[in-house]
Amino acid sequence: MSKILFAAVACMAAAAPPVSTRGSTQATQTVLTCRISTAAGQPVTFTPAVGFLPRTVTAQGTLVLTGCSGTAPSAANLRSGRLTVHGSGRAFCTGVQNIRGKGQITWYGADGREAGVSALRPEAGQVRSHNPGDMLLSGRIVKGPLAGARTAGTATPTSNVSTCATRGITGVHGAGTMTFSL
């Protein structure tokens, strides 16, 4: 159950590759991979708490992207970032449905200077895990650097989520990996 909730937090899809919209004969390619974690002292929060029974939950948080490395010219100067996310869905300890939300990534280059801002939109069809938090990170970049890229990832909670079914979870910290594919 602990992995379940951080993905809720980190909102990342579990391991299945993104689906290409360019036609069935053309495969997607990962163009950027970053480590991702909740910001220090700032868990991803859920209102109301994610619990045993499904209910509409709002999730929001700030995630830090570090150690980014890319294979495409469009990702060459993207070394780190700060992702702010806000979304909602019908969530419970082991799943999420009816995802809506948005995110914004402020990118930074190797010199530490801002390198652009991307808009992220979640896509319900992208969520391939049972993690409620996946509602925020699995989607598509719709504007800015890496526009058109699909996002996916994996995450593990770094805070205690064992009380989800009994008391609910209002916030979670975590860390993992996020990929961007075209």
Q: How far apart are CA 117 and CA 125, in angstroms?
A: 24
Q: pLDDT class for 94, splitting at 50, 70, 90?
A: confident
Q: Which of 23-37, 76-90, 156-170 has the lowest mean pLDDT?
A: 23-37
**What's the whole-number average pLDDT of the chain?**
81
Q: pLDDT class for 23, splitting at 50, 70, 90?
A: very low
Stretch 67-93: mean pLDDT: 91
Count the Cβ atoms, other than its own, within 10 Å of residue 51. Answer: 20
Tens digits of per-residue pLDDT, 129-155? 445 554 566 789 999 999 999 998 778
Whole-prediction pTM: 0.81
Q: How far apart are CA 13 and CA 28, in angstroms?
A: 16
